[in-house]
A and B are shown apart, each in its own frame.
Chain A
């Protein structure tokens, strides 16, 4: 099974919640980013003319994911873009302890005439925020629950 996400309906009445998962932290981060992207726009209507590389370190993987998703929200407003897709490489930050991320976001400047716009995400919240690793065969499964304020 690779990375995937599904929107949760009964978690946030006025907002948007999702659960993302992957066989590795990298897959989880890519799937969670895609959930944020698809809350804002239909990504099939967005061309990959704009790209941004994002690097972060954090002592905990939950903080790293929170910062990564918050960057998507920030870039949407600060650069006036919507996104098509994300890639993420997450690994343990051995010299410092904790985790590090190198991610990319592709998209293009917002054009309401071409983009199927959805909700303007205000923030990634800590409400019911959870990142967990279920140990199992072949490295287990990484899962995150995230509530977005729209």
Chain B
């Protein structure tokens, strides 16, 4: 069923009413489910909406029922089923009357993307791409339970939790100029290590500088002239085209963040009974943001978020070292500056017309428009760089935030392409070795710890990222700047 001006005869994986607001924005009214406080809005083309699994509709409307939610429960075009909140979800709660939910952040706290530019071109790198990927694979540990080279005791790890990427720069794993090119300058205030369990510390203390597995990766990519959509903005972001080489990293807070999330889901299950909160899914466990439990989680989550910024910073250091080894020139000489680093699994306190809000982004990216004071001077005019990773076979995108995103989506947009096929089905469709050979024939060198893990991440298991990017571009909540094509990929 759908309402007037709705999804018409489109076949959707839901019986709920879905009304068309524009060609890229769809709304599920509060009448669709008992308890909805606000409507749900999904950013998608007709085709993407029709392909969305039933979990998206169920979960985004469950989120719309949570106490203190403001304006809309949102889902981006890369949305798919997640735990409690859908992946691609955005929800903002009043900081006084609303809740905070670990399910709205995800297990991998501050999973995010980082893009590093270089002055190298494809012709510089192509002759030694095998050597470069081998050196990167050696320097950036990946896969199940991998350990990094940074040795920390608990006291020092607590400094990582408090200082994030700043700790890395202070210890020689980065440049002073790196920090302004990271969301929150790589250090979110309010991190309190006393709110973190021993189990979380034990899981994370030896993992700084590691990629992990699943859909995490390190990729060497090319920015070709014909894939730059906005040359002026691209240049301001350090992307000059002419087959320029860039490096993209996708990873998060590793076992440390996973344990913080697991610990607080348990705490919140009990807290909900105390505060009389009833949710439609156990994974939506939440507590009032101003409650002791809510504040404890926020302080622990910020520890994990800062450790994720530090993780990507140590990986950046290792990437620069690998390039120095292979090309015999310093990273400074190679122009290896960070373009930007964005979190796509996080809850943050931000100010909007409604006042101070706790904005949850789970598989969605902050996309602040031009002029926001949070942005560094260099990006104040362009808007915030947004980095969206595609599947390892296709490509990734660099975009910028817009003022429209500030008005419509709490300054948020998509984060990647979004899975459409189960891991098991992907493995049945292709063997890891076979996929590796196919990719190498197409000019993408692959280094993988797990061949089954590689098969699970095949390009056909994901939505076409270009369709997803076109949607947010046409909707106006981010503007595409450049497409980046992979030539080398490291997977856990």
Instruction: Give chain A's interface residues, CB within 8 Å of chain B.
Output: 7, 9-10, 12-16, 40-41, 70, 73-74, 76-78, 80-82, 110, 112, 116-120, 122-127, 129, 147, 149-150
Check A13/B143 contact, CB under 8 A, given A119-B450, A120-B492, A149-B83: no
The CA of A53 and the CA of B199, in the complex, are separated in Å by 17
Check A149/B258 contact, CB under 8 A, given A15-B423, A120-B492: yes
Contact present for B422 and A122 (CB under 8 Å): no
11 contacts across the A-B interface (CB closer than 8 A): A13-B419, A13-B421, A76-B144, A77-B203, A80-B147, A110-B145, A117-B450, A118-B144, A119-B213, A120-B492, A127-B282
Closest B residue, CB atoms, query A129: B282
How far, in Å, is B410 (CB) from chain A's closest CB?
Answer: 24
Among B53, B145, B207, contact of A81 (Cβ-Cβ < 8 Å):
B145
The CA of A110 and the CA of B147, in the complex, are separated in Å by 10
11 extra interchain contacts, Cβ-Cβ under 8 A, other than A110-B146, A117-B144, A119-B453? A9-B422, A13-B419, A14-B87, A77-B254, A78-B203, A118-B452, A119-B144, A119-B213, A119-B423, A119-B452, A120-B145
Contact present for A13 and B422 (CB under 8 Å): yes
Chain A residues whose CB sits within 8 angstroms of the CB of B425 once the complex forms: 9
Closest A residue, CB atoms, query B452: A118
Check A80/B145 contact, CB under 8 A, given A120-B212, A150-B213: yes
The CA of A120 and the CA of B146, in the complex, are separated in Å by 9
Among B53, B255, B450, contact of A118 (Cβ-Cβ < 8 Å):
B450
Q: Is B72 an interface residue (CB 8 A)?
A: no
Among A10, A16, A122, contact of B258 (Cβ-Cβ < 8 Å):
A122
Q: Is B80 an interface residue (CB 8 A)?
A: yes
The CA of A75 and the CA of B420, in the complex, are separated in Å by 32
Contact present for A82 and B144 (CB under 8 Å): yes
The CA of A10 and the CA of B424, in the complex, are separated in Å by 9
Q: Is B261 an interface residue (CB 8 A)?
A: yes
Contact present for A74 and B212 (CB under 8 Å): no
Q: Is B202 an interface residue (CB 8 A)?
A: yes
Q: Is B107 an interface residue (CB 8 A)?
A: yes
